[in-house]
Structure 1
Amino acid sequence: MAIPPVERSLTGAIRQKIDQKTKPTGSLGRLEDIATQIALIQQTLTPALSNPHILVFAGDHGLVAEGISAYPPEVTYQMVQNFMAGGAAINVFCKQNGLNLLICDVGVNGTFAENTQTFVKFKIRPGTRNMRFEPAMTRDECEAALDAGRTLVNGVAYRGCTIVGFGEMGIGNTSAASLLMHRLTGLPLDQCVGAGTGLDEAGVAHKTAILQEVATRYAGLTDLIDLLSAMGGLEIAALTGGMLQAAENGMVILVDGFISTAALLVAHALEPAILDYCIFCHQSDEAGHRRMLEYLNARPLLTLGMRLGEGSGAALAFPIIDSAVQMLIEMASFGQAGISQKG
């Protein structure tokens, strides 16, 4: 099903409602734009951010064997354990800001004890293959990951979720994201590659050389799913599927940092109207993210020098987004408050 652009016929009524609030016209800046966008997505003057969720997809990357990460691959497994134990930044921010958190294993190299409250298992395989020598995924595996994202989004939508943020965990996934960015934006590879988990200058140069070899290997691919299969990650494919499904469901999408935006680049190439449903939560400090946002003509809400992933930027931006909606719903108009308007 194609994602339709958001219907905009309510724009005038929404802006009129905002302009009648007890404030100078336009004085709440971006909050007014966010409120308008969400009201248009939900096609109502009284939108609601119900049962908000952050979905974190995790998967390992075979390319890590080429020394493209400052951290060893077992950190993916260890961090998912940390998520399940409630000890990571995303756990803290979700708890603080009233967001529900689900962790989904689509491709971690390890077995987890079942934890039905926060953990969902859609494991497709224990990490991608080494894309330097063969495609990271078969097309069937990639489509299974896309379906995992769609399924999890439909699950939370069934429980009344109207706004969903996406995060990820996967040592090596900045490499996959850089490759997808390079192919989908047309920017030179060296403008897409950064330090990831903390590589030094020599490490970034080595990473770039390996990624150039991978990019050359798959330069002939034009089909988007084949491209995602060859150079993506299981968690990135799941993010892509989840975002597409959220837009089809008419949900508000909270876009996090570099990896999540790379997944959105794929979703946008498949369904350009998905941008109508997206709020860009922050600009990552990872090299390349600013250029990604510029390519999508996107304005991030926050710039905090972060490059953590996990959906952390989406969780931090949520209270601002919630404030925009509460302004639209609860703030008094000049008439209700008995305050004179500008002459």
Structure 2
Amino acid sequence: MDAQNPGKKSRFVKRKNDPVPVPALREGILNGNRSSLAKAITLIESNAAHHYEWGQQLLGEVMPHTGNSLRIGITGVPGAGKSTFIEAFGEMLCNKGHSVAVLAIDPSSSLSGGSILGDKTRMEQLSKNPKAFVRPSPTAGTLGGVHRKTNETLLLCEAAGYDIIIIETVGVGQSEIMVRQMVDFFLLLAITGAGDELQGMKKGIMELCDAMVVNKADGENKRLAEKTRRELNQILHFLVPATKGWGSRAYTCSSLEKRGLSEIWEVIKDFESKTKEIGSFQSRRSIQKKEWFYTMLKDRILTDFFLHERIKPYISQFEEKVKSGGLTTSKAIEELLDLYKQS
């Protein structure tokens, strides 16, 4: 029976040798059970076709319980101290009574396929906090896979009752754009140094952020951090705002000394309040749902094409023809698509 509607039969179908108790996962998630949430995310991240089906059934059941969190994306240049900042920031939020889920997009080893950043280890204290949930998500080298799996993991965390979702990016350009499409507020971490803090930080990335924070503003570095903050504000002043009705500004903080974190949280709350008042918060969520629809549609079409029984045997043949020069790329694609349409 459906827990939400006692008189309604569950849509989940028990299959022979089904290793995943999907209804139990649903109940566990809705009750805030972290073990159930972790198992559900593993199901979502699986590349097995039958796991994909179960994962989508699970998402459909918990969807009415999603959308109630504040979604924050955090990125930054190498060495900016993203994990240290997130741990300190997350601990502060937990102490304020919030429940925090951290999804760290982790580049995967090309040899083992496993996560190599180890964010859960680097955020050891936050991981132990009963009001926090930290989950590294290996990319397996495919940003498209990151978009789908991270977005679905975000929804599961919301259904489990986490009211603040933080997504950390690896800082490789394209991943920032994808995360921007999933979050409400986008924070960019910088470090000190006249001009050096912009190394690897493209103007396009700065235009995505709703605020910048100069981290490590402590000790002898405090004065340089303030100087960097002023320089960044001068640059941000001339950029197109990332969010309608909101002007991006730069701030300083020290994750080690826990200074400036409350001010940043006040900025984020102010952002939420103002953008909800003028409607841009809801508008962004609506646009993100539209983008998510097309992303999922393209992903499903690609999967269907490459796994199609009639197409799979021919792909390598056409690949060899293109490599040998016996067939142009355009012609090979045209013939493959014809085969697909005929089937």
TM-score (norm 1): 0.33
TM-score by length of 2: 0.33
Higher RCO structure, 1 or 2 (CA under 8 Å, sep 6+): 1
